[in-house]
Amino acid sequence: MAAPAASAEAVLLLLVLLLVLAAVALRCGDALSLDLYDESCPEAEAAVTAAVRQAMANDRTVAAGLLRMHFHDCFVRGCDGSVLLDSTANVTAEKDGPPNVSLHAFYVIDNAKRAVEALCPGVVSCADILALAARDAVALSGGPWWVVAVGRRDGRVSLANETTALPGPTASFEQLKQAFHGRGLSTKDLVVLSGAHTLGFAHCSSFQNRIRLQGTDAAADPSLSPSFAAALRRACPANNTVRAAGSGLDATSAAFDNTYYRMLLAGRGLLSSDEALLTHPKTCAFVALYAASQEAFFRAFAKSMLRMAALNGGDEVRTNCRRVNSS
């Protein structure tokens, strides 16, 4: 009488095993790949790089724009290219949400997409093109280069009200940590990816709360270098934007390096969210490490970008990055 029971247990075990294998197969089907386009579109990466290089030659703000665009894409619905979609008559898209109104360089992705579509129509997603373009923007600015895993799908949903999930320039350490941990990223990733602020510019409105007490010329934030605060007060009425990092107050920075961390330790970080990294022993130690070693920062940045870019989502490969495919 024991045989039927054993047989039933074996059947049950087999069913459980099949379910596990099916789940693994589904996950593997959604996994990113290092060689997905090797045969289907071998020139895709070169086409994207060419589009980014050409745009950067004409506008030195492009690199920072592409990197920020990729970050803002990944932090809302995963890296699904939803930030690229235009608003419609019925839906206000992510790019028109308050944190994203200053995003720019969308035309670079459009140009890259047209070039790639000419090579291999319907193969490479807009989300992959954005991930590749962000990598190229960093590398062409003197930063690290890394192999980008591909195979992302493009999302069909883009909602402006979901951009509230993006950490803002006045975010506290706890708010920043919560935002990163909620996406499976670590506190170290928070410090490392903040280093991208070394590239580009910041609008004066993003740090007015730090440089001027209401009705006075005194700095509102005592952690900010008084001389730096004074220089920012002089620069802001004239420029509206200043360099996010660096020894000067240029309109933008075109070099990717570890200046951000060195400026932060010198009391010359622009944003409250930058200063927040010095309010916790663990993050402060990472800031000191990367201020001392650009090589360590570059290695860590490439790894953190890979982790962030693995936040996958989406349903299709768009023909036009600005609108979903017709049903």
Three-class secondary structure assignment of the chain: CHHHHHHHHHHHHHHHHHHHHHHHHHHHHCCCECCCHHHHCCCHHHHHHHHHHHHHHHCCCHHHHHHHHHHHHHHHHCCCCHHHCCCCCCCCCHHHCHHHCCCCCHHHHHHHHHHHHHHCCCCCCHHHHHHHHHHHHHHCCCCCCCCCCECCCECCCCCHHHHHHCCCCCCCHHHHHHHHHCCCCCHHHHHHHHHHHHCEEEEHHHCHHHHCCCCCCCCCCCCCCHHHHHHHHHHHHHHCEEECCCCCCCCCECCCCCHHHHHHHCCCCCCHHHHHHHCCHHHHHHHHHHHHCHHHHHHHHHHHHHHHHCCCCCCECCCECCECCCC
Domain with CATH 1.10.420.10 in the chain: 173-309
The pLDDT of residue 17: 45
Cα separations in angstroms, 277 against 54, 143, 189, 205: 35, 22, 12, 20
Domain with CATH 1.10.520.10 in the chain: 43-166
Is 73 marked within a binding site? Answer: yes
Is 86 marked within a binding site? Answer: no
* Catalytic residue, candidates 70, 72, 104, 280: 72
The pLDDT of residue 246: 46
Q: How far apart are CA 39 and CA 103, in angstroms?
A: 34
Strand partners, 243: 201
Q: Which residues in the chain come in under a pLDDT of 50?
A: 1-2, 11, 14-29, 246-248, 250-252
Is 76 marked within a binding site? Answer: yes
Q: How far apart are CA 100 and CA 134, in angstroms?
A: 16
The pLDDT of residue 234: 80
Is 59 marked within a binding site? Answer: no
Strand partners, 154: 316
Is 94 marked within a binding site? Answer: yes
Q: How far apart are CA 127 and CA 319, in angstroms?
A: 12
Q: Supply the CATH classification number for the domain 43-166.
A: 1.10.520.10
The pLDDT of residue 227: 85
61 near 137, Cβ under 8 Å? no
Is 154 marked within a binding site? Answer: no
Q: How far apart are CA 260 and CA 251, in angstroms?
A: 16
The pLDDT of residue 235: 79
The pLDDT of residue 305: 97
303 near 185, Cβ under 8 Å? no
Total-model pTM: 0.86
The pLDDT of residue 6: 52
127 near 152, Cβ under 8 Å? yes
Is 70 a catalytic site residue?
no
Give the pLDDT confidence of 183-213 residue by residue, as tens digits.
999 999 999 999 999 987 778 888 887 887 6
Is 128 marked within a binding site? Answer: no
- CATH ID of 173-309, from 3.40.50.410, 1.10.10.10, 1.10.420.10, 3.40.50.300: 1.10.420.10
Q: How far apart are CA 245 and CA 242, in angstroms?
A: 9
Q: What are phi and psi of 253, to 5 degrees?
A: -105, 135
Is 217 marked within a binding site? Answer: no
The pLDDT of residue 242: 65
